[in-house]
């Protein structure tokens, strides 16, 4: 379940930041860059603030998921 929430939130943030860069100001693309850098960083360090926040909110970790962990 955690993986699903994570993907929905990150995907939404990317789409919102791209829309803001098109309709408001191009500097919103820096937010998209920030999201991408954080995804890369979490792949190497196995530390993600969003994951910690979701766990504290009570989202359960993926157990018996169809997707390989």
Q: What domain count does the chain have?
A: 1
Structural domain including 26 reads 2-56
Q: Is residue 66 part of a domain?
A: no
What is the token pair recorded at 30?
Answer: 């820096």
pLDDT at position 25: 96
**Gap between the Cα atoms of 25 and 19, Å rounded:** 9
One DSSP character per residue, the chain reads -HHHHHHHHHHHHHHHHHHHHHHT-GGGHHHHHHHHHHHHHHHHH---HHHHHHHHTTPPPP-S-SS--
Q: Is residue 65 part of a domain?
A: no
Percent of the chain with pLDDT over 90: 78
Q: Is residue 47 part of a domain?
A: yes
Q: Is residue 61 part of a domain?
A: no
Average pLDDT over residues 22-49: 95
> Does residue 69 have a pLDDT over 90?
no
Average pLDDT over residues 40-68: 84
pLDDT grade, residue 62 (50/70/90)? confident
Q: Is residue 50 part of a domain?
A: yes
Q: Is residue 68 part of a domain?
A: no
> Does residue 40 have a pLDDT over 90?
yes
Q: Is residue 49 part of a domain?
A: yes
């Amino acid at each position: 379940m955690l993986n699903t929430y994570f993907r929905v939130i990150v995907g939404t943030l990317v789409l919102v930041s791209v829309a803001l860069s098109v309709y408001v100001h191009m500097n919103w693309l820096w937010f998209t860059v920030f999201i991408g850098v954080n995804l890369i960083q979490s792949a190497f360090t196995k530390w993600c603030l969003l994951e910690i926040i979701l766990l504290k909110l009570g989202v359960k970790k993926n157990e018996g998921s169809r997707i390989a962990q």
